[in-house]
């Protein structure tokens, strides 16, 4: 049986190592295992002797800051196999928020969820030439199953276009079977040599949509529709102002005709490819013989798309909104939108305070707000304030004896530090409290997006020459300028500046343009940036 143990995995080295396609950006140096982010530091928040964890200032060391937040906010930890990641409950809850939104959108647009095996015959990968060329450096292969050498080595799923086509070929017979619109929530394995939690790991979670159509126009409309859904999610849920556009030929997904992308600017001004949608044309259907009988009785190859967002988006949320105090989560994706902290000094105050906090919790829960009551007595209120700020909870409600007497609460916004973000004397009356909390959650959501837009726009420089581009990139900015140069010129930019074309934005300026590299006429502007 193929699932029998032991399984032998090995890194694929039988094919030339090629760096091409939208998934091959610049890798970061693999971060050292920080003591607070490894199995060597087993202390928990319940340990009375535990030293308080510190977060490296973002301006001092962005990478260390990022790892500190992941550790201290209990989002993830490194797995025992180098390059793997254990997603902890709080981190997974953010992924569930992403899943909930996208699942609804996928089903609203006619897609159905299903599941494909994670083991793929190696011969499937070989059928589409550019696909195997692009993925060969990242493949994990199974060569032994049940103690015996396998007749054909198996690939641990890096993506599913090949196995999907194998099944589509069996399911699609005529135009009546089209369009075929499916999605799966799955894990994939890519043998990355340099890893970063959430951003780039050997194994990660994602959704991958796969569709088959009767015409090229339908496939193109599908690819655009899905990148629009991703764009809407980024803006409205994650408060990340992505730039949507088309990838260059050099950066196009291996096996696709066109790749569409959403590009996000992180807090260190690097670009994060946050989601992609691919028009596959007939590349895979021709390789696998995926055909249908059209209305005229003629056999045609189907036109296809694939599209995906992964747990990398969690890293994007951290790096877009976080600050030196920790996470700062947009309310729409926050696992906990409101935390309630009871405050008392004397035992005779405790019962009344806890009764009031429980009542407030019930009021907010009934209103559909995700709320946490931290009534543990092992930690001081001040410690709880810092802890939940670090976890990025958008609103904090404080209730002490005086608040109980006055029938009011104190509410603090995570996105506005200090006294400026604190409001005293908010009534506990359910209609008043509910309206106040909902209004503030909406305000925080809007504020985070506006802040991110301002940061992004202030760090994009319009350039008209290659010297201008090099200067902008050297300053850590994104460069936006007219481009009609060759693939070789694009690779030259990458080699000399470390920047790649992130996309040709859908939103293009009007008027005549001249390529910043060659001076020839250019129809589009491109955005260049260093990336994750």
63 is a domain residue? no
Same domain, 249 and 111: yes
218 sits in the region (left: phi over 0; alpha: psi -120 to 50; else beta) called alpha
Taking the C-alpha atoms of residue 196 and residue 316, their distance in angstroms, rounded to an integer, is: 12
Q: Pick from 321, 352, 374: which residue ends a domain?
A: 321
Q: Pick from 321, 350, 377: which residue ends a domain?
A: 321
Same domain, 137 and 271: yes
285 is a domain residue? yes
Same domain, 150 and 238: yes
Taking the C-alpha atoms of residue 345 and residue 401, their distance in angstroms, rounded to an integer, is: 9
Same domain, 399 and 515: no
Taking the C-alpha atoms of residue 250 and residue 214, their distance in angstroms, rounded to an integer, is: 28
118 is a domain residue? yes
Same domain, 469 and 417: no
Same domain, 252 and 107: yes
Nearest to 80 by CA among 114, 39, 137: 39
| Host domain of residue 275 | 91-321
pLDDT per residue of the chain (532 residues) written in tens, 0 to 9? 333 333 344 333 333 333 333 322 222 223 333 433 333 333 333 433 344 568 999 999 999 999 999 999 999 999 999 999 999 999 999 999 999 999 999 999 999 999 999 999 999 988 876 666 766 788 999 999 999 999 999 999 999 999 999 999 999 999 999 999 999 999 999 988 889 999 999 999 999 999 999 999 999 999 999 999 999 999 999 999 999 999 999 999 988 999 999 999 999 999 999 999 999 999 999 999 999 999 999 999 999 999 999 999 999 999 999 999 999 999 999 999 999 999 999 888 999 999 999 999 999 999 999 999 999 988 999 999 999 999 999 999 999 999 999 999 999 999 999 899 999 999 999 999 999 999 999 999 999 999 999 999 999 999 999 999 999 999 999 999 999 999 999 999 999 999 999 999 999 999 999 999 999 999 999 999 999 9
11 is a domain residue? no
CATH of the domain at 522: 3.30.110.30
Nearest to 189 by CA among 84, 96, 261, 98: 84
Taking the C-alpha atoms of residue 208 and residue 186, their distance in angstroms, rounded to an integer, is: 8
Structural domain total, the chain? 3
In sequence order, what are the residues at sequence separation of 6 or more whose Cβ sits closer than 8 angstroms to the Cβ of residue 355? none
Q: How far apart are the first and last CA of the chain?
A: 39
CATH of the domain at 406: 3.40.50.800
In sequence order, what are the residues at sequence separation of 6 or more whose Cβ sits closer than 8 angstroms to the Cβ of residue 108? none
Same domain, 436 and 477: no
Same domain, 304 and 166: yes
455 is a domain residue? no
139 is a domain residue? yes
Angle in degrees, CA 93, 31, 244, rounded to 5: 55
In sequence order, what are the residues at sequence separation of 6 or more whose Cβ sits closer than 8 angstroms to the Cβ of residue 153? 122, 141, 142, 143
Taking the C-alpha atoms of residue 422 and residue 398, their distance in angstroms, rounded to an integer, is: 10
Q: What are residue 9's DSSP bridge partners?
A: 142
Q: Extract the tokens encoding 372.
A: 């946490």
The Cβ-side half-sphere exposure at 305, using a 13 Å CA radius, reads 31
Taking the C-alpha atoms of residue 395 and residue 418, their distance in angstroms, rounded to an integer, is: 13
Same domain, 348 and 316: no
99 is a domain residue? yes
Long-range Cβ pairs for the range 55-62 (8 Å, 24+): 55/324, 55/325, 55/326, 55/390, 57/324, 58/267, 58/322, 58/323, 58/324, 62/267, 62/268, 62/319
Taking the C-alpha atoms of residue 361 and residue 409, their distance in angstroms, rounded to an integer, is: 12
CATH of the domain at 272: 3.30.930.10
Task: Please state the three-class secondary structure of 357-410 as a single string.
Answer: HHHHHHHHHHCCCCEEECCCCCCCHHHHHHHHHHCCCCEEEEECHHHHHHCEEE
Angle in degrees, CA 33, 34, 40, rounded to 5: 80
Same domain, 220 and 300: yes
Same domain, 109 and 172: yes
Strands 258-265 and 338-342: unpaired
56 is a domain residue? no
Same domain, 172 and 122: yes
Q: Pick from 321, 354, 383: which residue ends a domain?
A: 321
pLDDT reported for residue 134 = 64
């Amino acid at each position: 049986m193929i699932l029998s143990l032991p399984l032998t995995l090995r890194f694929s080295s039988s094919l030339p190592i090629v760096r091409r396609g939208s998934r091959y950006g610049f890798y970061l140096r693999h971060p050292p295992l920080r003591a607070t982010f490894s199995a060597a530091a087993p202390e928990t928040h319940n340990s009375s002797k535990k030293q308080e964890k510190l977060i490296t200032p973002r301006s001092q060391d962005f990478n260390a800051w990022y790892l500190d937040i992941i550790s201290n906010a209990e989002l993830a930890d490194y797995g025992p196999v180098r390059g793997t990641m254990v997603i902890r409950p709080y981190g997974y809850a953010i992924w569930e928020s992403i899943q909930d939104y996208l699942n609804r959108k996928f089903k609203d647009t006619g897609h159905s969820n299903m599941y494909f095996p994670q083991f793929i015959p190696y011969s499937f990968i070989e059928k589409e030439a550019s696909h195997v060329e692009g993925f060969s450096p990242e493949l994990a292969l199974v060569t032994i199953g049940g103690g015996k050498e396998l007749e054909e080595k198996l690939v641990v799923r890096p993506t599913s276009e090949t196995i999907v086509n194998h099944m589509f070929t069996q399911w699609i017979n005529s135009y009546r079977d089209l369009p075929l619109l499916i999605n799966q929530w799955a894990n994939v394995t890519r043998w990355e040599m340099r890893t970063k939690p959430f951003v780039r790991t050997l194994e990660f979670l994602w959704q991958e949509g796969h569709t088959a159509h009767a015409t090229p126009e339908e496939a193109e409309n599908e690819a655009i529709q899905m990148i629009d859904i991703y764009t809407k999610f980024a803006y409205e849920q994650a408060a990340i102002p992505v730039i949507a556009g088309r990838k260059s030929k050099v950066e196009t997904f291996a096996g696709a005709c066109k790749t569409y992308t959403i590009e996000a600017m992180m807090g260190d001004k690097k670009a994060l490819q946050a989601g992609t949608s691919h028009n596959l044309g007939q590349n895979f259907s021709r390789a696998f013989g995926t055909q249908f009988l059209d209305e005229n009785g003629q056999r045609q190859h189907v036109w296809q798309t694939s599209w995906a967002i992964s747990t990398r988006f969690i890293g994007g949320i951290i790096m877009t909104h976080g600050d030196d105090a920790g996470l700062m989560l947009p309310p729409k994706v926050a696992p906990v939108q409101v935390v309630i902290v009871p405050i008392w000094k004397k035992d005779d105050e405790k019962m009344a305070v806890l009764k009031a906090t429980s009542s407030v919790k019930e009021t907010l829960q009934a209103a559909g707000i995700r709320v946490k009551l931290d009534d543990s007595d092992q930690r001081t209120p001040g410690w709880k304030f810092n802890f939940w700020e670090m976890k990025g909870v958008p609103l904090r409600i404080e209730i002490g004896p005086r608040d109980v007497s006055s029938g009011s609460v104190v509410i603090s916004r995570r996105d506005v530090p200090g006294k400026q973000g604190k409001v005293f004397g908010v009534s506990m009356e359910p209609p008043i409290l509910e309206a106040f909390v909902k209004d503030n959650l909406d305000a925080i959501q809007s504020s985070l997006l506006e802040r991110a837009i301002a940061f992004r726009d202030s760090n994009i420089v319009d350039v008209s020459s290659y010297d201008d581009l090099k200067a902008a990139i050297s300053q850590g900015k994104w460069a936006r300028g007219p481009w009609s140069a060759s693939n070789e010129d694009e690779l030259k930019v990458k080699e000399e500046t470390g920047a790649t074309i992130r996309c040709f934005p859908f939103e293009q300026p009007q008027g005549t343009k001249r390529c910043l590299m060659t001076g020839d006429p250019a129809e589009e502007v491109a955005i260049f940036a260093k990336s994750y």
